[in-house]
Amino acid sequence: MNRTDRLYAIVEELRAVAPRPRSARWLAERFEVSSRTIERDLSALQQAGVPIWAEPGRTGGYCLDRSHTLAPLGFTVDEALAVMIALGTLSTSPFRDAATSALRKVVAVTDERSMRETARLADRIHLLGDATTQKAPRELAAALRTGQVLRIAYTDREGSATQRDVEPLGFVGKGDAWYLIAWCRLRDGLRAFRGDRIVRVTPLDERPPRRTLRAEDLGIVEGELRAVGAGAAVDAKSP
């Protein structure tokens, strides 16, 4: 059994006996691995947001909160593969940590047969990126949610360095490059800041009223701008 299959199986084992605990030793014997391996697996699941906690004592062990877990998802192999590919495209974005965590959760609640077939197919799919593209700072991921003004150290394409206070409004992804769309107080206007040119990010305490951002305000002259918001999901639910 590979690790992906084992993580799913551990969750299902704990779900089946919840709220009773299972010890690391019992799980190690069940999955024919060492107790240390089980401890690492449980830690990975906890970091991914699976509600597992330890109960101390001679009869203690690890428990799963059934009321706060998802039932196994009814993903087809193609659906699970599409989710895996989509999350993989975020590897250079500010959301890469959340994407990795989301993928772990999908793995944990997808049925074993589908996940095994999905993993086999995913090994045949590769994303071709630009080797020169660097990752956007992780600190940008929370920018839209918190609404805080950001103080950024930015280097433009000519190599000129500036420090700017900006009001985050959105993101645009193009290939491996991600751009922070923000109101720049230095330039008193809307600007796009390429993520891999943002050297440093410092959130400030100020949370100004959120400005309106329309697609036409971005002034895109090449390519097609596609939204990834809830509208697509609403459309998909429509008959």
What are the structural domains of the chain? 3-68 (1.10.10.10), 77-122 (no CATH), 138-213 (2.30.30)
Residue 72: per-residue pLDDT: 52
pLDDT for residue 112 is more than 80: no
The mean pLDDT value for 72-81 works out to 76
The mean pLDDT value for 224-228 works out to 77
Residue 230: per-residue pLDDT: 52
Q: In terms of Cα–Cα distance, which of 166, 189, 170, 187 is closest to 179?
A: 170
- Beta-bridge partner residues of 180: 171, 193
Identify the residue with better confidence: 24 or 70: 24
Which pair of structure tokens corresponds to residue 213?
Answer: 């951002």
Residue 233: per-residue pLDDT: 43
Residue 55: per-residue pLDDT: 85
Type of residue numbered 17: V
With residue 161 as reference, give the H or E element that holds it: strand 161-174
Residue 232: per-residue pLDDT: 45
Which pair of structure tokens corresponds to residue 228?
Answer: 């990834």
The mean pLDDT value for 214-231 works out to 74
Q: Considering only 13-17, 41-45, 167-171, which range has the smallest mean pLDDT? A: 13-17
Q: In terms of Cα–Cα distance, which of 134, 198, 138 is closest to 166?
A: 198
Strongest mean pLDDT among 13-27, 168-182, 224-238 = 168-182
Per DSSP, the residues of 102-157 read HHHHHHHHB-HHHHHHHHHHHTT------TTPPPPPGGGTTHHHH---EEEEEE-T
pLDDT for residue 53 is more than 80: yes
Residue 206: per-residue pLDDT: 95
pLDDT digits (tens, 9 = 90+) for 55-75: 887 778 999 876 655 555 567
Instruction: Report the percent of the chain where pLDDT is more than 70.
Output: 90
Residue 238: per-residue pLDDT: 42
DSSP-based three-state secondary structure for 69 = coil
